[in-house]
Structure 1
Amino acid sequence: MKSDGRPATIYDVARQAGVSHQTVTRLLSGFEGIRPATRARVEEAIASLEYRPNRAARLLRTNRSNRIGALAQEMTKSGPSMVIKGASRRAHEVGYVLDIVMVDGYDDSSILDVLTTFQHDRVAGILATAQTEQMQQIFLSLPITVPMQMGSHVDDPAGRHDIQAKTGQLAAQHLAGLGHRRALVISGGRDWMSAQERLEGFQAEGLRSGIEVLVEYGDWTPESGYRIGRGLDLDAGITAIFAENDHMALGAIRALHERGCEAPRDISIMGVDDILESRYLTPPLTTVAIDFEAEGRFAIDLLVSRVDGAERPGPERVPAPRLIERESTRAI
């Protein structure tokens, strides 16, 4: 970093080391035929100035693409939009440009058209934030010749860093701690990987904690939460609802209110995402917050490590989900 706060360039390094910029370039390119004394001066200047090589310029010199194709869906929703925001910022930081294309994650032809276009345009890698079963099956079946990444998912046999499963687990722990023993999960859908993983996490923890788990399937929208709330059997002994996002929880709260069933007096309700509106509902919504921007950044780091053949970053870099307890849940 220069004294005026601007990032150092290769010319600044050369000037401080007393060498030509071509010498600095050769050292950065891995050229071994540089005298030890000269190498030491250049390396000292690089460290002193905190110089960082420009990845975009390096890609240009090697005729490699600096574009990453991103398949996105449900961008009007808080979670997906924040994932893309984090991914786009991180891509820029490491010298790539994120080309974002909206797709219907349930439509094979939509996914295939975009993937074909990306390959034709010679992107460096492909990131899928629309994580449906259809998307996964197409990714596995197509002979795609560039590195691919499905969201921030990391294969971890011990399950230590499965953010979505941990989200469901955290919700079940909270409700179990309040004494609930019969709970309804409003899932985001059968085809969404994140919805399945949240449900599996809740069910696993529910089994450990003695919660009987019932499931209804929505589609992430307030309307689906409202529909399920209107049809809920109020005499079934259900004392808590875990909606897999805040929007469905909002719809369920409204529907139950219309039926004279109030949260948390008659039933505890919680969601996921910590959307801005959740703290202003009546009652303020208990929720599980996920750092979606961090997920997007980590997804890019995973993909770029594959593009560059570098060591894969550790999943512990993504913050764990955290419970935000408000007034929509209570002990029984």
Structure 2
Amino acid sequence: MADVARVAGVSSQTVSRVSNGFPGVNHETRQRVLAAMRELGYRPNSAARALKRGDFRTIGVITFTLSTTGNVRTLEAIATSAAQEGYAVTLLPVAVPSHDEVRGAFSRLGELAVDAVIVIMEVHLLDATRLSLPPHVKVVVADSDAGDRYTVVDTDQAGGTRAAVRHLLDLGHRTVWHLAGPEESYAAQRRADAWRAALAEAGCEAPEPVRGDWSAESGYRAGLHLAEQDDCTAVFAANDQMALGLLRALHERGRAVPDDVSVIGFDDIPESGSFLPPLTTVHQDFAEVGRRCVEGVLRQVRQNETEIGTTLVPTRLVVRQSTAAPRVR
């Protein structure tokens, strides 16, 4: 910094103000300092600046898996939104979603020097009564029911499910079968509960749900079973990938969609409009979830306060060609 000041003919304090982007330096002087920086190959020491300011302008992200569409798209939105705010993102995948693993992840993030943490809890395997995150760490959790302890940003799982079930019942189906996600998944459980409640509210009996693991292959296996159920005329799949496998199974078993069986998914992945037939599904705004996660955690950082509560991002039903009134028998 002293060398830059000497070449530019300014004080070290002026160099510091320019390198940190502070106002109060006239344009000509700023350009002279920047030219000296380029000439000397000067780069500000981000670690030293962070220690001086007391912040690192970095958000840590803990995620249990990068294999699901929702997590990847949420992470992409977090990285984009953080960059727009001048923050970097440090990603720390956790192989096993256990209490000890998450505690260890927070410790490692502390060593990496982050200002706050976003936890993407796609699977709800943590016992909320046992998980106690460090009180000084600003935290936002995505996809969780921990809103009584932390800031939570979640998709309106229940609202989207109710819209899907009502759509099928309004078409004239007597009930709706459910291709559910894994039991340990918070999102899958929330959708299954809302499916069952929507049927009960309409006075319809809920068939025994068939479970998959979010993959198209598991949807195909479940679909082979559902195709054998003569009274199955409508299926709500907990995600689009399983719906894709279901469509294949129904086709192979000679059950036409939507003439024999109507199918609805959840997520509205980019490919869902290209399924055969194009899939009716519940749209999740993953970009908005990621944006609100960043917005919420930075608000805590800037106000130096911890927030508690849940923000729900609305869903909407996208009607395509995979649903129709049941065939008259």
TM range (shorter): 0.7 to 0.9
Greater CA drift, 104-113 or 208-217? 104-113
What whole-Å deviation, never above 9, does each CA across 1:145-177 have from its counterpart, x for those lacking one?
412221166849xxxx86111121111121111
Greater CA drift, 121-130 or 304-313? 304-313
What TM-score, normalized by structure 1, do the two folds share? Answer: 0.74
Which residue does 1:169 correspond to in 2? 162
Partner of 1:200, secondary structure, is: helix
The amino acid across from 1:226 in the alignment is Y
Q: What is the deviation of 1:141?
A: 3.7
Q: What is the deviation of 1:113?
A: 3.4
1:154-303 aligned within 5 A: 155=147, 163-214=156-207, 215-232=209-226, 234-235=228-229, 237-303=231-297
Query: RMSD between aligned alpha carbons?
Result: 3.2
Change (3 A) 1:223 1:93: same
Partner of 2:166, secondary structure, is: helix
1:12-161 aligned within 5 A: 61-104=52-95, 106-107=97-98, 110-135=101-126, 137=128, 140-143=131-134, 145-151=136-142, 155=147
**In the aligned structure 2, how far is the partner of 1:59 from the partner of 1:136?**
35
Is the CA contact 2:169–2:175 (under 8 Å) kept in the aligned structure 1? no
Change (3 A) 1:111 1:163: same
Partner of 2:264, secondary structure, is: strand
Is the CA contact 2:155–2:313 (under 8 Å) kept in the aligned structure 1? no
**In the aligned structure 1, how far is the partner of 2:143 from the partner of 2:26?**
42
Gaps of 5+ in 2: 1-20, 31-46, 149-153
Is the CA contact 1:263–1:328 (under 8 Å) kept in the aligned structure 2? yes
Partner of 2:241, secondary structure, is: helix
Verify: 1:322 aligned to 2:313, yes or no: no
**In the aligned structure 2, how far is the partner of 1:321 from the partner of 1:59?**
39
Q: What is the deviation of 1:327?
A: 0.9
- Paired residues in the alignment total 281
The amino acid across from 2:275 in the alignment is L
**In the aligned structure 2, how far is the partner of 1:116 from the partner of 1:139?**
17
**In the aligned structure 1, how far is the partner of 2:55 from the partner of 2:139?**
16
The amino acid across from 2:183 in the alignment is R
Q: What is the deviation of 1:77?
A: 2.9
Is the CA contact 1:123–1:146 (under 8 Å) kept in the aligned structure 2? no
The amino acid across from 1:165 in the alignment is A
Matched-pair identity in %: 32
Q: What is the deviation of 1:118?
A: 1.4
Is the CA contact 1:171–1:323 (under 8 Å) kept in the aligned structure 2? yes
Partner of 2:125, secondary structure, is: helix
**In the aligned structure 2, how far is the partner of 1:122 from the partner of 1:136?**
27
Q: What is the deviation of 1:233?
A: 6.1
Change (3 A) 1:188 1:264: same
Gaps of 5+ in 1: 1-8, 22-55
Which residue does 2:6 correspond to in 1? none
Is the CA contact 2:234–2:262 (under 8 Å) kept in the aligned structure 1? yes
What TM-score, normalized by structure 2, do the two folds share? Answer: 0.74
**In the aligned structure 1, how far is the partner of 2:188 from the partner of 2:279?**
20
**In the aligned structure 2, how far is the partner of 1:328 from the partner of 1:94?**
41
Q: What is the deviation of 1:139?
A: 7.2
Partner of 1:228, secondary structure, is: helix
**In the aligned structure 1, how far is the partner of 2:95 from the partner of 2:162?**
29
The amino acid across from 1:125 in the alignment is A
Is the CA contact 2:227–2:249 (under 8 Å) kept in the aligned structure 1? no
Greater CA drift, 107-116 or 275-284? 107-116
What whole-Å deviation, never above 9, does each CA across 1:276-320 have from its counterpart, x for those lacking one?
22111211111111110100111122222223336869977x652
Is the CA contact 2:61–2:92 (under 8 Å) kept in the aligned structure 1? yes
Q: What is the deviation of 1:124?
A: 1.7
